[in-house]
Amino acid sequence: MGLHTADAIVLRRYPFRETSVTLSCLTDRFGKLKGLVKGLYAQPNRYRSAMEPFTINRIVFYDTRMSQLHLISQCDLLSPLTGLQCDVETMRVASFCVELIDAVVPLEEPQPATYQLLKQALERLALASEDAAGTRLHFTVRLLRLAGFQPQLDECTGCGATIRASGYWSARQGGLLCPSCLHEDPMVEPASSEMLSALAALAESAQPLRLDGPLAARLSQRLDEFLRWRLDRPLKTLTR
């Protein structure tokens, strides 16, 4: 049994019995974890954080190795990110980021780059002055890359032929189709070289990029369709 300290962003939180909570969080050193905080409501002073979703905390937890539910013995609030609650659109994007993390990141695999990506996206959104749609687009492309879940853009998803400058976007196939494989998906749409270079640039960039408005909107729409087809369960934050 080990005792560990980590910084943790709370993804979801559920009541457990009368005074306790279980939660899932993304940590800087241990990846995504499930935790139990006993007596959080009974002894609020003992814990200096209420472990609200979207907050950044420093936690101490016991790794029991018997279960994936770890006992969190201490939690201190590092950053409440209160700016996220300033408007509905910001909160909607923050909820999407957290839900997508929960959907594509496996439990207990250290992923420091993914933690930094989520932390920076939430901090940027909390500043309100930032473009929420641009943050959402960059977050999506970058997270899919880090999680190994990105659309297939270099080879045709039908026949495996190399795709050079442009192709046809198929959300259902999870990437591009070449002209000979258009029968695979009646819903294909042309994917311009401009769109493909923007996707490649976003996947490599540490921060959002300034893209032409219509291009950014088209890309976001394509990626949302991709997520609708490719995730095991639908994201609540994608239904509009």
Q: For residue 133, count other CB atoms closer than 10 A to its CB.
A: 16
Residue 186 burial (C-beta neighbours within 10 Å; 0-12, 13-18, 19+): exposed
Q: What is the DSSP letter of 107?
A: B
| Sign of the CA dihedral running 205, 210, 212, 216 | positive
Rounded to a whole number of angstroms, the minimum distance from the CB of residue 61 to Zn ion is 48
For the chain, report the end-to-end CA distance as a whole number of angstroms.
45
Rounded to a whole number of angstroms, the minimum distance from the CB of residue 178 to Zn ion is 4
Taking only Cα atoms into account, the Rg of the chain, rounded to an integer number of angstroms, comes to 20
- Please, which residue, 3 or 165, has the CB nearer to Zn ion? 165
Rounded to a whole number of angstroms, the minimum distance from the CB of residue 228 to Zn ion is 23
Rounded to a whole number of angstroms, the minimum distance from the CB of residue 192 to Zn ion is 18
- Please, which residue, 101 or 178, has the CB nearer to Zn ion? 178
- Please, which residue, 181 or 223, has the CB nearer to Zn ion? 181
d(CA 145, CA 151): 9
Rounded to a whole number of angstroms, the minimum distance from the CB of residue 181 to Zn ion is 3
- Please, which residue, 127 or 159, has the CB nearer to Zn ion? 159
d(CA 50, CA 23): 11
202 torsion bin: left (phi>0), alpha (psi -120 to 50), beta (else): alpha
d(CA 53, CA 71): 18
- Please, which residue, 5 or 180, has the CB nearer to Zn ion? 180
Binding residues vs Zn ion (CB under 5 A):
156, 158-159, 161, 178, 181
Rounded to a whole number of angstroms, the minimum distance from the CB of residue 230 to Zn ion is 19
- Please, which residue, 159 or 201, has the CB nearer to Zn ion? 159
